Structure 1
Amino acid sequence: MKKYFLSLAVVSLFYTQSGACAWSDPDYEYFNLFTQSIIKDKSYLPFLHSYSTRFYTDFKPSLIPDENIESWKRYFNNQLSYAQTEYLVNKMNMNDLNALKKGSPTNQLLVALGPGFYQKYLEGIDYLIEAKYLEPYMKINYIETADSFYYREPGTGKNATNLDYNKTIAALTSLYNAAKNPEIKQRYGYQLVRFNHYTRNYDAAVKAFKAYVEPLRLKGAPYIMALDQLAGAQRGLGMNSEANWNFFQVFRDSKSRKESAFVSMKLSDTASFNNILKRAATDEDKNMAYFLLGYEDFNNPIPVMEKMFDINPDSEILKVMAVRSINELERSYLPIYYYNDDNSNAVQKHTADKNTRQNATETAEPKKEELSFWQKIVRFFKNLFSSKKDKNSPDGKADQSDDELLDNPDRIPVFTRNNYWYDDKTRDFLDDLEKFTSKTKEKSKDEYWQIADAYLKFLKKDYKASTEILENIKTSNPEYTEEIKRMKVLNDIVSQPKIDADYEDHLMKDYSEYFAEKPEVKKDSTETDEYNYYGEVPSTADFLKDVLANRYFLQGEDGKSFLMNNKLSDLQYSPNSSLVKSVEEFYRKPNKTQFEQQIIAKNINDVGNIDAFFAVIYGDRAMRQADFEKAKSYYAKAQNFSGIPRSEWNYDEKRVTPLKYPAGAYNGFSNIPDLVFGHNVWISYQSAPEESMKKEDYSAFPFIRPNMNKLELADALIQLKKAGNGKDEKSAAANQLIGNVLYNTSILGYYRQLFVMDLDNSNGGKYYFDNSERANPYKYYYKGFPDRIYIEPDNFDLAINYYKRALNTSTNKEQKARILFQMASAEQGKYYQYEAKHPSNVDYSDPKWSEKSDAYQKQLDQIKNQKYRTYFSLLKSQYADTETAKNLMGSCTYFSYFMK
């Protein structure tokens, strides 16, 4: 199993907008519900499906038997176990064997075998002594070339050329001639071939194989090992066709050398494959050849599998191809994230429709449906008596029937191509594979095909048929049994139309093992981790939680859906009012089921005072809507707010702990400076407040304090609102200050973090105009919530309306100029919102991309000047002579450009 470490720097990336980041591992981005490794022939485990490595590695190497060790075990008449044999052959020190030969063994295994062990197997022991002497040198001498990599794996520095060539050949030849046992004799022949190969005496290696290996007519492990070396020598001689065929035979006959033989084969063109196919004399050879072809080109595996089926439907490698195909489909149907949400679909639709619109920058009016007189009457009475609600509203979702819920196309599993490693050739071949599997299970005796067929029906949401197949499978294979058991659970949960209290009780009673918290397994102190850590491998339990989160989402239970995959504190990253309300309703729900208490409510984590946490979110939204009275009522309930729940690395405790806010620091509720009533000197979010902002004259409003909390701020705004009802300069100033607060806390303002549960104004997803849509961007469920923005957009008209009151009341021309500039800035925000909703959709591959993009930008500029420059125009035409306008030209580059 691959293990990884996750640095704190990488942890922070989870709270940024990210698609497919550079650290992603595609083999950790699906659930592997259909266990690939259930294939019976474990020698093919490296050829299971993997994206992160060339060969599949998620298995214990000991699962693949080594034919060389098995051969030695038979040689020793099974006196040793497989593990003992492997230790003796591969790991035991040469000195231990020499001590055995001298009759004074010290190694415990050799002592236990007794004094007669050497005499009984002296030829084999003598060979192992010679082989262990040679082994450190058995590497080909490295020759630097222009195409060589600069870095090489560190090693002993020894290679075959460090041995005296003539003496070594003479010694091995003498030992070969002296050996009586044919298998031991052939092993010496293997050493002769290997030594010549590694000293680059390729022609001598070929001759050695013909002289010392072939004549013995043994086709066991030594022969396979020698054939592997022969093929390497033939590659050195440029005999590529012969080398490929011999590597192919090694691949076919060996259990432990398939991966290395596959790498050594060079099947980069059709001719190489055809040469092997021509030589394939048996059905097994042909089947193997087609497997190699299908393995290399896997975009559409069905045609190759059909050829393999025609040869032998019981072929083990056909099952390998099938399991790879199933895994490929599973990655499409069951990714750990579904990225193709409603927003992306809307963008695609916008692109498709754009060419049909007469005005590329205006949203076309929907085409009205022409109804006959009778249709109008029918529709009238349907609307009059229908009690159906909007299917997209929470109430409408809750009113759905079982059939409507089951027919919802967004019920997981769902086919999607949104994972980043897919290319244009990727397609949904589920129907074709299901037909193939159904056909094969009738011909093959292996229960594997029935399990595969049941799983494909599960992906197609035919849960009844899938369960029926599983119920009828009779098998004694423990891996098959485990897979069947898991699939029955999957079918039960995924086929349930609605998750209600009774079904939640069923989950806890019958499937608690998938939902209960597992105790953390402590690692042995000697255990080391080989790779960087990307997180735990997605499990069946994770998938079931996603399914349930999706079901709750489709049922309109957004709060439960959210808490299946997120913590309560995650609401800070996107405090959407309707979602927050649903989460709060679940939090306050009395008589929660055991499932709700133990599985969902456990994600209501520490946010300090929970009531205060919700009150701050609601109060912030009311402030953004300029409903100061409502905001005050919420903030009055939030005075126990302990701060936005952030974390920091505690160097003393060496762990992540809750953030401790320094005295005087803004914590989401307290310590708001009076500069929030001021105006920009220049736009620089990174500069200190005193550098970016300038105070207004607050002398007429003593209730504006230098430092306030949100309750005090809301109260100050209420008092300003009352003062703004007059017709004098004081009322003008009051309305101007309210407008300033609304603008300064908008997405454009220096204090934009105040009412969106953020700590500072540094750039991030909360401040992207293209994410501020009112529609729910989620199509499935709320997984990965911190990575997606779901905040109601600013209403810049609120600030503009207060500025208008100030403008109409004020008689001070300089003040009017300042107010107009503030109104123009807010109007700029309205344009940015428009622009974000109408992105350019010119394809980069379009040969006229530059020309079309320029034309589109000109249309945007025209609309901007016609609809979103009202107050800049007034400022230019009526107030250009004011000191305020002149100063603005010096500090605002855009205004200076506009004035010119």
Structure 2
Amino acid sequence: MKKYLLSLAVISLFYTKSEACAWSDPDYEYFNLFTQSIIKDKSYLPFLHSYSTRFYTDFKPSMIPDENIDSWKRYFNNQLSYAQTEYLVNKMNINDLNALKKGSPTNQLLITLGPGFYQKYSEGIDYLIEAKYLEPYMKINYIESGDSFYYREPATTGKNATNLDYNKTVSALTSLYNAAKNPEIKQRYGYQLVRFNHYTRNYDAAVKAFKTYVEPLRLKGAPYIMALDQLAGAQRGLGMNTEANWNFFQVFRDSKSRKESAFVSMKLSDTASFNNILKRAATNDDKNMAYFLLGYEDFNNPIPVMEKMFEINPDSEILKVMAVRSINELERSYLPIYYYTDDNSNAVQKNTTDKSRKQDITETAEPKKEELSFWQKIVRFFKNLFSSKKDKSSTDGKADQSDDELLDNPDRIPVFTKNNYWYDDKTKDFLDDLEEFTSKTKEKSKDEYWQIADAYLKFLKKDYKASTEILENIKTSNPEYLEEIKRMKVLNDIVSQPKIDADYEDHLMKDYAEYFTEKPEVKKDSTETDEYDYYGEVPSTADFLKDVLANRYFLQGEDGKSFLMNNKLSDLQYNPNSSLVKSVEDFYRKSDKTQFEQQIIAKNINDVGNIEAFFAVIYGDRAMRQADFEKAKSYYTKAQDFTGIPRSEWNYDEKKVASLKYPAEAYNGFSNISDYVFGHNVWESYQSSPEESMKKEDYSAFPFIKPSMNKLELAETLIQLKKIGSGKDEKSAAANQLIGNLLYNTSILGYYRQLFVMDIDNTNGGKYDFQSTERQNPYQYYYKNFLNRTYIEPDNFDLAINYYKKALNISANKEQKARILFQMASAEQGKYYQYEAKNPSKINYSDPKWSEKSDAYQKQLDQIKNQKYRTYFALLKSQYSDTETAKGLMGSCSYFGYFMK
């Protein structure tokens, strides 16, 4: 769990196709199915793959062993545990050690160790007392410009090494060094001399101290590594960059706890290539380590470096680190938490032809094709010959798919996506290259890791049979390996299943319930909590399996189940597409739900008030948008118990989110609709009040139009208007005009555009997106990001225009005709907007003639607009420009005024 603010949060937005979020963390945008941290040597954990931070951080620091604590533990003859030793060395107060030395310990650990502990280890205890005295001062006196390679820690005490008396401190440490009998303790005093001179910027003295007090002892343990680290820092201060880099390299190689800092020192202190280190590498281990640093730094194509490391030692632990980083990079393209289409906003229609569909999904990796025997080909031929052909994109067509057709569907996740900002066409090929390398390495290495990695890569390639066979044959006692193998077997089982039916759902609940059932929330330890927890839980295996099943249901035509795997029933309000709503309703009404359906899917049928009324309002709204007022009435009759569109608000009294309680007079999705809905807009301002934006028509001939109506009453009113509109008099003309007004006013362009799309006001949102509403289904995989996509049938502006035409043909009032023509022109403008959204500019910004081509494209659009979508404006100008209505419109509608001129 990340517990900090990201310093690269803004930059991270460029890494992935993330949602519009100011704090986006790319390490939370894919499923971590292959656990990076299963490497055996935990000292390399910081070098696992991460986009969010410079080094990988999703592990407890205690997982990395500290050679200094191990050294002290051995010094105390293993009388203390590792934790006790770490406490004694790093955390115990200096006063406690002085009390021990005086024979009157007060610390419980020291009391337990007994009175003889100091006598036995007096040299070590005396050293720790001196070290704890020096520690608060052991920081360099930071100089902003001159020491940019030093890490400046937040100031706590304000102390640094120059606060100590230089001569007195050197003399004391030298005296203690000479008096010490134990070589390791002696070397520790030597380390303190090197460090003190380094931090007081006496770089020459630090180098001399290393050669005088550390090197002659010929010990290469923890004190030597610590001193070598300080020597390299002093050499950096002297400008001896090549020597400093080599010594930092040795620290990186030999230390377990200092690898990250040594790597930073190499990186920040010198821009020279690691080739100098490679030249000095005398042993295979040194060369292997140098290649690792090179490969880690140049990660665009790690395979060539991994090949060199393989030749040196196929059992190398750092070779596994390179491999796991490569696998993690692949995961980001194959297992993103959202699967997008090409442009991340425009969607692929599911009813396109096979040919166009293949073109639309070029970014998706084709599954591995099964080689059929001659007999299998014959069987498939006759099977296809006598089968009835159905549209595979339709619900019935999806339901009738064979196992082969389901398995061959290119949209079965995991699939390859361009999820990386630095994507290139070679990225897909990298899976093949890495699989080839891993397969070769598993034959040479004795570590089962390579078998697990090979099985996982085959999983990504959808070769589940081969993956499972490898996993079944792995013999290991490593608990982390066993956990990964167990998880991968579950993945292979579920992902390879052709169709998720009732029997398989029973299998899921019987054998894999732990991945699907809710677990009680575990209270975190106080040491694991932090106020900067912005991202929630890292996507888990359970989350991935839920997405897999949602995707499978989607491909099988069970859209309702697919939707409810990732969404709540109440979420339908935001994009009430009729076909999806019908599928969700069918599942809701299903009487023989399996245990899986009841416990895992149906739990997302949350509180929407009266569920029957909720569905009825959605269907009634769609009928109204289609101008089928009789059908709308039949649905609204069933919706009279509708309690309001299910929205939430903050309850200040109870201090929690609660269901929105609509005021009695407020529009709630069903009631309190003003008769302004039959009027026309005076000016286009969605934020203004109805009285400011709208003007009522003359309703005197229609007394049944109430000032305030619910949707049932509105539908009944429209039915009466429609009946009257079938006549041939001025009243009929007015009735048709009112119907046209309502259809326009409730369209995407109208002041009351919220009425029939399950919204509570006319503010902007996805429902009012011309570009998306033209698409029948913006989902290629499943409904996980449902709230971020528009999935609602587009307006049919011809319905309003047709009613206006009836009014125009009947009316004899020239002023009224002018008003009707303007309304028709406004509806026609909506048709143009839909055309424009379906034909966006495809000119690349990098094109040197972008401006010129864009201007030409806009001129082409303007020409099409004037030729095909200005019919009624032209008629209004040519025949009615002398009317008071037209003159008034020129003053209130700037665009019409421009057109008239």
TM-score, reference length from structure 2: 0.93
Equivalent pair of 1:361/1:860 in contact (CA under 8 Å)? no
Distance of 1:7 and 1:714 partners within structure 2: 56
Distance of 1:370 and 1:31 partners within structure 2: 31
Distance of 1:327 and 1:174 partners within structure 2: 53
Equivalent pair of 1:550/1:781 in contact (CA under 8 Å)? yes
Equivalent pair of 1:14/1:786 in contact (CA under 8 Å)? no
Which deviations, in whole Å up to 9, do the C-alpha atoms of 1:292-329 show, x marking residues without a partner? 11111212221111111011000000011111111111
Distance 1:77 1:770, change over 3 A: same
Other structure's SS at 2:23 match: coil
In the TM superposition, residue 355 of structure 1 has moved relative to its aligned partner by: 17
Which structure 2 residues correspond to residues 71-220 of structure 1 after superposition, within 5 A?
A: 71-145=71-145, 154-155=154-155, 156-220=157-221
Distance 1:130 1:4, change over 3 A: closer
Which deviations, in whole Å up to 9, do the C-alpha atoms of 1:767-808 show, x marking residues without a partner? 110011242111111101111111000000000000000011
Distance 1:18 1:829, change over 3 A: farther
Distance 1:831 1:354, change over 3 A: farther
Equivalent pair of 1:415/1:428 in contact (CA under 8 Å)? no
Distance of 1:45 and 1:421 partners within structure 2: 25
Q: Residue 615 of structure 1 corresponds to which residue in structure 2?
A: 616
Equivalent pair of 2:399/2:557 in contact (CA under 8 Å)? yes
Distance 1:644 1:12, change over 3 A: farther
In the TM superposition, residue 147 of structure 1 has moved relative to its aligned partner by: 9.6
Which deviations, in whole Å up to 9, do the C-alpha atoms of 1:676-726 show, x marking residues without a partner? 001010111111111111111111111111111110111111100001011
Of stretches 35-44 and 422-431 in structure 1, the one that deviates more from structure 2 is 422-431
Equivalent pair of 1:548/1:561 in contact (CA under 8 Å)? yes
Distance of 2:293 and 2:56 partners within structure 1: 15
Equivalent pair of 1:673/1:707 in contact (CA under 8 Å)? yes
In the TM superposition, residue 378 of structure 1 has moved relative to its aligned partner by: 19
Distance of 1:848 and 1:892 partners within structure 2: 35
Equivalent pair of 1:17/1:787 in contact (CA under 8 Å)? no
Equivalent pair of 1:334/1:414 in contact (CA under 8 Å)? yes
Distance 1:345 1:576, change over 3 A: closer
In the TM superposition, residue 21 of structure 1 has moved relative to its aligned partner by: 2.5
Other structure's SS at 1:657 match: strand
In the TM superposition, residue 166 of structure 1 has moved relative to its aligned partner by: 1.1
Distance of 1:113 and 1:867 partners within structure 2: 95
In the TM superposition, residue 523 of structure 1 has moved relative to its aligned partner by: 3.9
Equivalent pair of 2:551/2:562 in contact (CA under 8 Å)? yes
Distance 1:569 1:68, change over 3 A: same
Equivalent pair of 1:670/1:708 in contact (CA under 8 Å)? yes
Distance of 2:326 and 2:701 partners within structure 1: 75
In the TM superposition, residue 525 of structure 1 has moved relative to its aligned partner by: 6.6
Distance 1:46 1:366, change over 3 A: closer
Distance 1:190 1:602, change over 3 A: same
**Structure 1 residue 366 and structure 2 residue 370: aligned?**
no
In the TM superposition, residue 16 of structure 1 has moved relative to its aligned partner by: 18
Q: Residue 823 of structure 1 corresponds to which residue in structure 2?
A: 824
Of stretches 189-198 and 292-301 in structure 1, the one that deviates more from structure 2 is 292-301
Equivalent pair of 1:340/1:418 in contact (CA under 8 Å)? no
Distance of 2:363 and 2:263 partners within structure 1: 58
Equivalent pair of 1:840/1:856 in contact (CA under 8 Å)? yes
Of stretches 361-370 and 755-764 in structure 1, the one that deviates more from structure 2 is 361-370
Other structure's SS at 1:777 match: coil
Equivalent pair of 2:241/2:269 in contact (CA under 8 Å)? no
Distance of 1:371 and 1:453 partners within structure 2: 25
Distance of 2:732 and 2:13 partners within structure 1: 47
Distance of 2:336 and 2:143 partners within structure 1: 45
Which deviations, in whole Å up to 9, do the C-alpha atoms of 1:315-351 show, x marking residues without a partner? 0000111111111111111111101269867799999
- Structure 2 portions without partners, runs of 5+: none
Equivalent pair of 2:26/2:51 in contact (CA under 8 Å)? yes
Distance 1:415 1:739, change over 3 A: same
Equivalent pair of 2:364/2:416 in contact (CA under 8 Å)? no
Percent of aligned pairs with the same amino acid: 91
Equivalent pair of 1:515/1:541 in contact (CA under 8 Å)? yes
Other structure's SS at 1:429 match: helix
In the TM superposition, residue 662 of structure 1 has moved relative to its aligned partner by: 1.4
Distance 1:153 1:821, change over 3 A: farther
**Structure 1 residue 476 and structure 2 residue 477: aligned?**
yes
Aligned length: 900
Distance of 2:193 and 2:498 partners within structure 1: 69
Which deviations, in whole Å up to 9, do the C-alpha atoms of 1:133-158 show, x marking residues without a partner? 00000001012339979996542110
Equivalent pair of 2:667/2:760 in contact (CA under 8 Å)? yes
Distance 1:529 1:356, change over 3 A: closer
Distance of 2:617 and 2:869 partners within structure 1: 33
Of stretches 428-437 and 360-369 in structure 1, the one that deviates more from structure 2 is 360-369
Distance 1:11 1:679, change over 3 A: farther
Other structure's SS at 2:244 match: helix
Which deviations, in whole Å up to 9, do the C-alpha atoms of 1:634-691 show, x marking residues without a partner? 0000001111111111122111111111121111111111100010101111111111
Distance 1:151 1:824, change over 3 A: farther
Distance of 1:482 and 1:88 partners within structure 2: 35
Of stretches 502-511 and 9-18 in structure 1, the one that deviates more from structure 2 is 9-18
Equivalent pair of 1:16/1:765 in contact (CA under 8 Å)? no
Equivalent pair of 2:456/2:467 in contact (CA under 8 Å)? yes
Equivalent pair of 1:248/1:265 in contact (CA under 8 Å)? yes
TM-score, reference length from structure 1: 0.94
- Structure 1 portions without partners, runs of 5+: none
Distance of 1:369 and 1:472 partners within structure 2: 23
Distance 1:361 1:701, change over 3 A: farther
Which deviations, in whole Å up to 9, do the C-alpha atoms of 1:23-68 show, x marking residues without a partner? 1211111111111111100111111111111111111111111000
Which deviations, in whole Å up to 9, do the C-alpha atoms of 1:53-87 show, x marking residues without a partner? 11111111111110000000111111111111100
Distance 1:557 1:39, change over 3 A: same
Distance of 2:374 and 2:295 partners within structure 1: 61
Distance 1:377 1:706, change over 3 A: farther
Equivalent pair of 1:273/1:289 in contact (CA under 8 Å)? yes
In the TM superposition, residue 12 of structure 1 has moved relative to its aligned partner by: 21
Which deviations, in whole Å up to 9, do the C-alpha atoms of 1:845-886 show, x marking residues without a partner? 000000000000000000000000000001111111111111
Equivalent pair of 1:17/1:765 in contact (CA under 8 Å)? no
Which deviations, in whole Å up to 9, do the C-alpha atoms of 1:264-311 show, x marking residues without a partner? 102899952110000011111111111111111212221111111011
Distance of 2:226 and 2:562 partners within structure 1: 57
Of stretches 365-374 and 139-148 in structure 1, the one that deviates more from structure 2 is 365-374
Equivalent pair of 1:559/1:584 in contact (CA under 8 Å)? yes
Distance 1:733 1:392, change over 3 A: same
Equivalent pair of 1:2/1:530 in contact (CA under 8 Å)? no
Distance of 2:835 and 2:363 partners within structure 1: 10
Distance 1:182 1:707, change over 3 A: same
Distance of 1:11 and 1:165 partners within structure 2: 45
Equivalent pair of 1:137/1:160 in contact (CA under 8 Å)? yes
Distance 1:183 1:446, change over 3 A: same
Distance 1:408 1:665, change over 3 A: same
Distance 1:657 1:373, change over 3 A: closer
